[in-house]
Amino acid sequence: MSEIKLTFYGAAEMVTGSCTLVECGSTRLLIDYGLIQGTDNDKAENLRPLPFSVSELDAVILTHGHLDHTGRVPLLPGSGFKGRIITHAASTELATLIWLDSIRLSDYGKPLYDEKAVNKTLELVQGIEYNQEIEVNDVKITLFDAGHILGSAHILLNYKGKRVIFSGDIGVKRTPIIRDPFTQWERNVHAVVIESTYGDRLHKDREKTVEEFRSKIDTAVNEKGIIIIPAFAIGRTQEILYHLNHLIERKTVKPLPVFVDSPMGNRVTQIYKKYTECYDGPTKAQILSGDLPLQFKGLNHVISSSDSRSICETIPPFIVIAGSGMCNGGRVLHHLQNHINQDNTVVMFVGYQGEGTLGRRLIEGEKNVFIGTEMREVRASIATLNGFSAHADQNELIQWARSIPGKAIRWFVNHGEKKAAEGLSDAISKEGLGESVIVKKGMSVTV
């Protein structure tokens, strides 16, 4: 067997900017190339060239479409990259939306790249299916369903009998619509690069979270209030719609207007409707029964900016689902500006909030915050429903880790803030699963 060298250039003791170089003999692969967010010098960090020639890369392999895993990929063709970009077919479509949307909503004034760069990138993309083994030179590559969002994947690399798994983002069991993370590994594995977003904590029970969600909707209806849900366009928006479909159609909450004020979220929903082969059994059965899981009475898909602004004229109660999920841009900002100083508003967070983001400051209890360029008093209630998370918690990460066969597996913990990475690394060691190392930026290891 031959050695595999891993060098970690991103998501080391942080959640964004995933990027790992893999060297298998003369073959060079890059696993993800995500956007860095939440630091004081994001733009400089994102524009800084990689410390090697990207023209030497044979392929880039993407675990899924989220910005923190794909956001810098369109920078590569202009820097000399001519290899393949390999990902699940659904991730190809989702990443395309994200790349084009990031041009339009750039946090930096001038975008990192333009539409021409995106089009050049798409010429290099090869969309594949789960469990389909392909080869890049003498490296065999297979994607397995990670259960995080549509098209999300674990990556298995096999180089002359040496096998390494990149977990990507690991999903939560029994997440609506999509299947559970893959755990039926057949061959011994020598090393695993594992994410640790929630590596030091446990989520609320999902059923209890849905009940809490139902209760807050009831309260909003009774108090004629407004619920603002900052939601990621991919995955979280569709899950919230799924739960609202169940609650409203089963009459466990009173019908009320629901606005999906996210053009990208609405386009993502159409992609979700297209890839039904990625659905879990219950969702397929629901569709066959005639109940479309992402549609219900009172649902409004908002496209134009003028229609977005006019939502505030709606008589409460109502729900607004809008991006961005961490409140660092997008249409959710003007809804917060309009309503965060009102006692009958609930701002409901249903996903991870990175350090330095407006979302994190709100859940940490700040009472006066800048929204855009304006200071606003926070009188709204702030709710955190972590049970809707698309990331596995510590228990689920350990369960997934236990499923991987092999003796003396080496674990490399990344994609988590320091405390979370330490929590997961300690848990892996206590479980006796093998040597566990928290990766540092620039660290190289040989397997």
- Find the CATH number of the domain harbouring 21: 3.60.15.10
Same domain, 64 and 181: yes
Tokens, residue 441: 């930026």
What is the band of 233 on the pLDDT scale with cuts at 50, 70, 90?
Answer: confident
Same domain, 364 and 322: yes
Cα 352 to Cα 343, 369, 438: the distances in Å are 24, 19, 21
pLDDT of residue 139: 98
Nearest to 321 by CA among 310, 335, 309, 307: 335
Backbone torsions φ then ψ of 55, nearest 5 degrees: -65, -20
Selection from 99-108, 266-275, 333-342 with the highest mean pLDDT:
333-342
Asked if residue 270 lies in contact with residue 233, where contact means CB atoms within 8 angstroms, the answer is no
CATH number for the domain spanning 353: value is 3.40.50.10890
Lowest mean pLDDT among 146-155, 162-171, 258-267, 351-360: 351-360
The Cα angle at residue 224 between residues 378 and 235, in degrees rounded to 5:
70
How far is residue 274's CA from residue 263's CA, in Å, rounded to a whole number?
Answer: 17
pLDDT of residue 107: 60
The Cα angle at residue 271 between residues 249 and 83, in degrees rounded to 5:
155
Same domain, 307 and 436: no
Tokens, residue 88: 């699940």
Residue 2: pLDDT over 90:
no
Mean pLDDT of 423-432: 97
Same domain, 92 and 182: yes
pLDDT of residue 105: 67
Same domain, 397 and 384: no
Same domain, 330 and 404: no
Same domain, 350 and 434: no
| Angle of helix 418-430 versus helix 394-402 axis, rounded to 10 | 40
Same domain, 112 and 38: yes
Question: In this predicted model, what pLDDT tens digit does every residue of 175-199 receive, in sequence order?
Answer: 999 999 999 999 999 999 999 999 9
Domain termination residue (choose one: 388, 413, 436): 388
* Average pLDDT over all residues of the chain: 94
Same domain, 142 and 63: yes
pLDDT of residue 39: 74
The count of structural domains within the chain is 2
**Four-point Cα dihedral 115, 121, 123, 129, nearest 10:** -120
Asked if residue 265 lies in contact with residue 233, where contact means CB atoms within 8 angstroms, the answer is yes
How far is residue 374's CA from residue 262's CA, in Å, rounded to a whole number?
Answer: 22
Helix (H, G, I), strand (E, B) or coil at 370: strand
Cα 263 to Cα 128, 202, 234, 348: the distances in Å are 27, 32, 12, 20
pLDDT of residue 240: 95
Length of the chain in terms of residues written: 447
Residue 445: pLDDT over 80:
yes
Which helix (H) or strand (E) covers residue 229, if one does? Answer: strand 226-230
Bridge partners, residue 261, by sequence: 322
Lowest mean pLDDT among 92-96, 322-326, 402-406: 322-326
Residue 243: pLDDT over 70:
yes
Considering the chain, what percentage of its residues have pLDDT values greater than 90?
82
pLDDT of residue 43: 85
Same domain, 127 and 258: no
Same domain, 399 and 264: no
Question: In this predicted model, what pLDDT tens digit does every residue of 71-115 receive, in sequence order?
Answer: 999 999 999 999 999 999 999 999 999 999 888 866 657 899 999
Asked if residue 163 lies in contact with residue 187, where contact means CB atoms within 8 angstroms, the answer is yes
pLDDT of residue 1: 58
Same domain, 123 and 252: no
Structural domain including 232 reads: 206-388
Asked if residue 199 lies in contact with residue 423, where contact means CB atoms within 8 angstroms, the answer is yes
Mean pLDDT of 228-241: 91
Domain termination residue (choose one: 342, 372, 388): 388
Residues 6+ apart with CB under 8 A from 290: none
